[in-house]
Amino acid sequence: MRTRGRLWKTAVGVVLTGIMLFPLYWMINVSLTQPNELRKDPPNLFPFNPTFDGYSRVISEQLPYLGTSLVVGLGTVILTVAISAPAAFAIAKLRPWGGTTLNFVLLIAQMIPGIIMAMGFYLIFFNWGILDTIPGLILADSTLAVPFGVLIFVAFMSGIPNELIAAAKIDGAGAWRTFRSIVLPVSRNSIVTVSLFAFLWSWSDFLFASTLNRSGAFQPITIGIYRYIGNNTQDWNAIMATAVVASIPAAVLLVLAQRYVAAGVTAGAVKD
């Protein structure tokens, strides 16, 4: 009975995994399908006569967009961690007045629709002179990642023993030295978690990119994909090939960091 139950659960898991991964498979299938077979009914479930024209176009046309997305993603990660980690340490360990209220405000901030924020950023960035620039896009993407980062860091740092902080104070370390030398090293899991989500949000962002950096010299890959879509034609080979290539960095990061993400997300869930 136990073996039969395990087989049943495994079968259900395989079916559900196949359903969730089918869009990814179909994206790869379409990227390799000949253009004259894209409207075939019924469609081919496997590219028997594959073409790599879409991928050659990615290499020749989309590399600058990929480079811009990489710069924006790394910039967003650095800015997010630089702001959210010290802020979370102050809330979790220094106990400032109004810290609980600030935590609640950060939670509410994540509920604001992105389009409302984009419209507000447009006027602000125009006045600051950073519209259609990479720094402007990094700043906009960080506004989504920083509240999440603070909440994750607070949950993790709240579980750091106060005795460890007290021992650092006895040795003469101030708040900044304690944060830099004690708290950050033991917060590795949460740092990886926040960095990963910040990078993925900026990498996949289209709303801020299309609103705040649509005519700039350096545009992210989401805008590069959008340029293949016209009023009368859609180059699905190039669109899907670009989507496949753009998915590789995110997939690699998720595979490499999944252990740290699991530990960072569940940090603070159990209290001693």
> Is 228 exposed, middle or buried, given 0-12, 13-18 or 19+ CB atoms closer than 10 A?
buried
**Residue 253 sits in the same domain as residue 161:** yes
Query: Does any domain span residue 154?
Result: yes
Domains identified in the chain, total number: 2
233-253 pLDDT, tens digit per residue, is 667 888 888 889 988 888 888
The structure tokens listed for 13 are 């898991």
Whether 27 and 64 map to the same domain: the answer is: no
Q: Is 132 part of any domain?
A: yes
17 with 142, same domain: the answer is no
| Same-domain status, 76 and 130 | yes
Taking the whole predicted model, whether its pTM rises above 0.85 is answered as no
User: Are 210 and 245 in the same domain?
Assistant: yes
Q: Residue 234 pairs with which residues in a beta bridge?
A: 229
- H helix or E strand, kind and range, residue 102: helix 99-109
What confidence tier does 195 reach under pLDDT thresholds 50, 70, 90? Answer: very high
Q: Within this chain, do residues 27 and 103 fall inside the same structural domain, yes or no?
A: no
Per DSSP, the three-state class of 234 is: strand
Domain contains 270: no
What number of helices (H) and strands (E) belong to the chain?
13, 0
Q: Are 161 and 178 in contact (CB under 8 A)?
A: no
* Range name among 6-20, 92-106, 131-145, 178-192 with the lowest pLDDT average: 92-106
The CATH number for 153's domain is 1.10.3720.10
Within this chain, do residues 252 and 178 fall inside the same structural domain, yes or no? yes
pLDDT tens per residue, range 180-192 = 888 888 888 889 8
Question: Can you give the pLDDT at residue 231?
Answer: 58
* Closest residue by Cα to residue 217 from 119, 116, 136, 125: 136
Instruction: Judge whether 272 lies within some domain.
Output: no
Residue range(s) defining the domain that contains residue 38: 1-51
Are the CB atoms for 33 and 195 separated by under 8 Å?
no
Instruction: Provide the strand spans (E) within the chain.
Output: none
Single-letter amino acid, residue 66: L
